[in-house]
Structures are given as C-alpha cells and as structure tokens.
Structure 1
Amino acid sequence: MNELSIEVSIDDQRLEVLQDGRTIHTFPVSTAAKGVGCQYGSYRTPTGRFRIAEKIGDDAPTHTIFKGRAESGRWDGCPCDHDLVLTRILWLDGLEPSNQNTKDRYIYIHGTNHESKLGTPASWGCIRMAAEDIIQLSQLVEPGTLVTIHPPTQRTAKLIFFDCDSTLSTIEGIDELGRARGPEVFAKVEALTNAAMNGQIPIQEVFPKRMEIIRPDRVLCDAIADLYVKTITPGTESVIAKLKQAGWTPVILSGGFAPLILPLAKHLGIDHVEAVPLSFDDEGNYTGFDADYPTTRNGGKPEIIREWKDALLPERTIMVGDGISDLESRSETDLFVGYGGVVSREAVQAKADIWITHMGDLLERIEL
C-alpha cells in the first residue's frame, strides 16, 4: 500500500512521517508559542486532521525566503527577530469544522531562521522545521498527504498576566494621550478612565468616547510609548526576569493600546501582549481602534485568559492588576493579585486574593 501520513505532537514538539502506520522518520519542530487554537489572528497552531493542500519551492535553493509564497531572495544566516518562511512550504488545509479556516490562515509547515528554538513552542502558528528536514519531508510527501496535529495533554506552562497601566508602568496611557491634547481634553479623559476603573461606567462605553476626543496620531503614540518605558514601576524589571527564570510565561493583558505598550514589553523581555490595536493611515493619522477587541469591554480580560488556558493547559494562572477589569478575571485564575502601588482602589483590594503595594513583594507572596 505504501501510504504516507504525518503526525505532529504538540507535547513532544515532534513531527513523524508514517508509512502504513509505522514511523519511518522523526523530526524536531516548533509549534506556536501561544499554544493551540483555530481562531483567525490568534497566532496559534490548529489541531485535528488536515491535508497538504500545496507544496511550494521544491526547486528553490536552501534558505530561500518566501513572501506571500513567492521567492524573495535568500537568508544570509544572520540572526534576526523576524519569523522568516524559508526553503520549502507545505500549505495545510483543515478537514474538520473547527479547523477548516486553516488554509485561509496561511498555516504552513516550513523552514525557519530560528532553528535553535526547534523542540520548543516558538512559532507564530505555523510548524517550523530545520532546512535539511523540510527538504527531506517535501521530497517524501505530495499534495493530499494526511496530517494529524495532536492537541497538548501535558500541563507544563505557568501563566502570569499583568495589567499594564498603573501596574507595570506608573502612567495611564490614555490619560497621557489626553494630557498631550491640552488640559481640557485631559480632564475629560481622566474622569472617564477613573469612572471605568472604579466600575462606575462600562468600559465599552468609555472607549469610543475617549478615542473620539483624542484621535491620537502615530507621532503622539510613539511619544507615549517612550514614556511607558521611562515610568516602569519600581521592582518590575527584576520581578519579570525572576519569573521567567522560574519557568513562568508573562503576558501583558491590557485595555491600553498595543502600539504604545509593545516597546515596554520588549524592554521587559515579555513576548506576549494582549492589547487594543490602533490603525493609522499612510501619513500616520489616526483612523480608528479595534472596537471588537475583548479588552474594550467588560468581561474581555477573563475571555482572553480562557483562550490562553485552552491553548496551553497551564499548571497555574495568576493575574496582577489594579482595576475592576482586572478583578473580573479572578474567576479564570488560580490567584488574583491586586496591585495598589500606583492607585489604590478599595473595591479591588477588598476582593483580591493577595494585595501588594510594591511589585518586588510579588515573588514573596506567590509560589514560584
């Protein structure tokens, strides 16, 4: 019969080629750093049954760079942070209702410029392989070959979510955007922010009001992004470093804006940011925010935490924050840590499992 199939283990970060049900080749791989999932824009690896829809690059030299599945030069071997698609592409198509969007999500098995990370989850959703391995695999299989990606079963991750504004940084980014527009605008924005954080106004009502008042352009957003880095709360850098050393995955979970927060995350060594996207035109003028993003509404933070828990099956989950929207996530975490080092909110302190006023105290209050 001589029928080939592929099986991928998320737990073992391994791809096996089977012939009539017997393993004939095994390769290390790297699946998504954010775990498993089939949602558009999730940057997670889908699971279930698939087929290879297309093979691309069979005659391309090793380390050919593909952009939009077209050859676009060759990688010179120099380290870079970009997730390059190299050497070969095996484009997957989902065969189940839950993963039928896989081809439209552009989920591939492909060569990578991050071979040192193979054997650990590190991709943006695709399945990464070493150059020599993807060449060998591409020679073995054809379009139509069945692929099974097995979901994780082992609980190994430890997740800790941090609010950003008045938690990792002493500022409220939205207030600083308002301040830059003048005292009258700042007063209106600050009042709306405090009302939302104290639970007096639903967050989904506050968001569009504040943004229509401010309409921040890219230049202003870049300036506030720099301010975030300059106003990190005392002790935070050391805490994040020690958490990572102890095997925790830190995630910034914020109702703030992604372009403002990403430089802070990079400075702190945090790879994952869940925050509201902004859009600008070619001249850098503000054109809107993603009104459907979960953290623009009440209940959004626990929703995102549930997605992470489903994706990674963590051993433990902790949330650290100062506001009511952070407290909402208590139902989805093993521990909610209220932080009052910048702003002390009585409603949050009263219901927090642990209350701290200095970030350096966090490590003494949780079990690493």
Structure 2
Amino acid sequence: MSDYRIEISVDDQQLKLIYQGELIRSYPVSTARKGVGTQEGSFRTPTGNFVISEMIGAEAPSGTIFKGRIDQGVWDACECEQDLVLTRILWLDGLDASNRNTKGRYIYIHGTNHESLIGSPASCGCVRMTNRDIIELFNLIETGTPVTIHPPIKPGGKLIFFDCDSTLSTIEGIDELGRARGPEIFAQVEDLTNAAMNGEIPIQEVFPKRMEIIRPDRSLCDEIAELYVNTITPGTEQTIAELKQHGWTPIILSGGFAPLIMPLARHLGIDHVEAVPLNFDDQGNYVDFDANYPTTRNGGKPDIIREWKHALLPTRTIMVGDGISDLESRRETDFFVGYGGVVAREAVRSKADAWIEDMTKLNSLIDL
C-alpha cells in the first residue's frame, strides 16, 4: 500500500499530497465548471474514493498533448478554447459503488492549456493542474496511490434556468424545421408541439413522431440555428448580461435540439446548454436524436435541475419558461416565472409564482 495519499477539495480547489499522515505539498487545481457528479456524459467531477490506476507521460516534455493518452507532440502555446490534456496523466479509477464508472469516463488529473483558470472550477470533469505542478506530483507518487475527492459543502452561486423556444427566442425550433419541409408537414408538427406545450400529449410521445416526419439534416439545422439568433425576444440580451453581473449563472434548459441552440447561447454569453443531442452521419444526414435525454420526456427538466443543485449547491434556483414542461420544474426551484411574451398559456400563468410578458421585467421581479 502506498505511503502517499491525495486529498482534493472541490470547495477550496486544492489538492493536498499527504505522506505517512503528514501534509507535504499543496497545489491549486481546477475541477469541473458544472460541479460534481458521476453520471456518464455529465462533464462533472466525480467525488469519493479512487486510486491512481495508470500514470502516463513519464518522459514527455512539459506541454505534450495527449489524445486518447497518445503523445501528439508539444503544444505550441497558442490560444485555444479546447480543453487539452497536457504533460502528464494520472488516470483515476473509482472504488465506490457510485463512482465505479470513473475510469470509463476518462477522468484524469492532468496538466492544462488553461493555467490562468487554475484555482476555479473550469474543467470538463477532470482535475486540472499547472504543468509544472503535475510534473512534480507525478514524480512523487506511484500507481496505486489512493485519492479522495471531497464534495462541496459550502453553498454558493445562483442558478437561473431559461427555456429557449418562445422564451429566449420568439420561434419554436421544431416548428421551423417542419416549416422548411413544406406546409403539410409544418401543420402536423405545429399541432403536435402545441399539444405537448399545453399538456395534452406526453412529450415523450411527441418527440419521435415529429422527428420521423422532419428528419432534418445538418444544413437545415444550421439554418434554424441562425434564425434563433435573429429572433431573440426583446430585452433578453440586457437581462442576461445584468444577471451575470450580479452573480447568476444562466442555463438554457430546453426540449429543443442542442446544435440549433448553441449559437444562440454563445451570442447571449450563456455557457451551459441542456438540450437534446442530434446525431448525423458523415454526410450530414439525420440519423436520430438522443431519445434518452431527460428533456424528451415529462419530468425531465426538474430532473436536470436537481442534478445541477446537487452539483453546485446554489443559494437560489429560478426557472423561466412558457410551457407545461417548464412549469413541472416548479417543485425543484425556489421561484418559477411564467413567460408569456410570445405565447401566453393560461395553464402556466395560473400556477406560476410570477408572470411576465416583458423580459426586461424579470430582474426587478427576482430582486437581483
């Protein structure tokens, strides 16, 4: 058994190296910007007990890029938004029932091209270190070193979730996809969308019907993505900017499709999008959508909000939206704001904690 052990605090963004019970090193780190979690594809840092299962890059120069743990040469230090795995890899393997999938999620302690962000949550799930620090740590420990990642216990931050269609944008993306396929298909899709938003048909029944009717290719999706940006609801840009200035983290939570919504999110300065993935083949033809994604079913939005609350321990949680699926989130939020600036649904208005038809009224309503 190793004489060393590693303790990582998500609250403090610190890694401590302990030798025979004595603290010998402390390093700043960066865990996931989306907080903690063990679900596959969550982009969150797992917590609990682990072991260093493999150590990769012993002789590599500092700044070596690893893809699939294979040396790709040395990073040229150019500006890059991509989360590069640099210099050394300490591959974690989970020991608890809740984190046994950690190795399969490829969760590492590794060097990074984003050293300026060390000390704050910014990774895609791994634990980032400066390249100098990961070399020092790598040289001190050995395979089999136990690691504990402690979950956050300090409440912090404020989360505000926004529906997208008919809330941040005046369009319904699925309807616009249908419209592009002709008037008959559009009429079918629009009827299904309205029935779902009014709570007349379960969302999980509507999704596959609409997508088999439309089968949108990548080119069509790109067109509708541009339309989202061109149809932002009045006041939304100012409202989002003010929320961020006051410490709120805005998140788009949508039953729409991620490739269509991401350009809108970037335009608004929103870093997090929870929306349905689409799959295309190499030629850009539609293959399918992720039928298991939570927002494809009733009750999916509150499930996602619950995960975010567990991951970040926010002090306040708010949801803003126009549909029944948004209203379902009320049980997981401190405050639900119904939005009727595009479509006013009485079923939502009657049960919302508050109602607005002008997005510029939101921030005074929630008392920034």
Which category of TM-score, normalised to the shorter sequence, fits these structures?
over 0.9
Aligned to 2:350, the other structure's residue is in SS state: helix
Runs of 4+ residues over 3 Å off in structure 1:
none
Could you tell me which amino acid in structure 2 is paired with residue 219 of structure 1? S
Aligned to 1:87, the other structure's residue is in SS state: strand
1:245 is displaced (CA, Å) by 1.3
Distance of 1:343 and 1:131 partners within structure 2: 52
Identify the residue that residue 297 of structure 2 maps to in structure 1. 297
Identify the residue that residue 95 of structure 1 maps to in structure 2. 95
Kindly indicate whether residue 326 of structure 2 is the aligned counterpart of residue 326 of structure 1.
yes
How do 1:267-282 and structure 2 match up within 5 A? 267-282=267-282
1:367 is displaced (CA, Å) by 2.1
Aligned length: 368
How do 1:1-368 and structure 2 match up within 5 A? 3-368=3-368
Aligned to 2:241, the other structure's residue is in SS state: helix
CA deviations over 1:134-158 (Å, ceiling 9, x no partner):
0101001110001000000000021
Question: Contact 2:2–2:146 (CA<8 Å) still a contact in 1?
Answer: no
Percent identical: 74
1:2 is displaced (CA, Å) by 8.3
CA deviations over 1:210-248 (Å, ceiling 9, x no partner):
000000000000000010011111111111111111111
Give the TM-score, by structure 1 length.
Answer: 0.99
Could you tell me which amino acid in structure 1 is paired with residue 105 of structure 2? R
Could you tell me which amino acid in structure 1 is paired with residue 205 of structure 2? E
Aligned to 1:331, the other structure's residue is in SS state: helix
Q: Gaps spanning 5+ residues in structure 2: where?
A: none
Distance of 2:126 and 2:280 partners within structure 1: 28
Q: Once superposed, what is the RMSD of the aligned Cα atoms?
A: 0.9
CA deviations over 1:29-86 (Å, ceiling 9, x no partner):
0001111111111111000110000000011111110000001122111221100000
Aligned to 1:25, the other structure's residue is in SS state: strand
Q: Gaps spanning 5+ residues in structure 1: where?
A: none
Aligned to 2:58, the other structure's residue is in SS state: coil
Closer, same or farther: CA 2–273 of 1 in aligned 2, 3 Å: closer
Distance of 1:18 and 1:249 partners within structure 2: 35
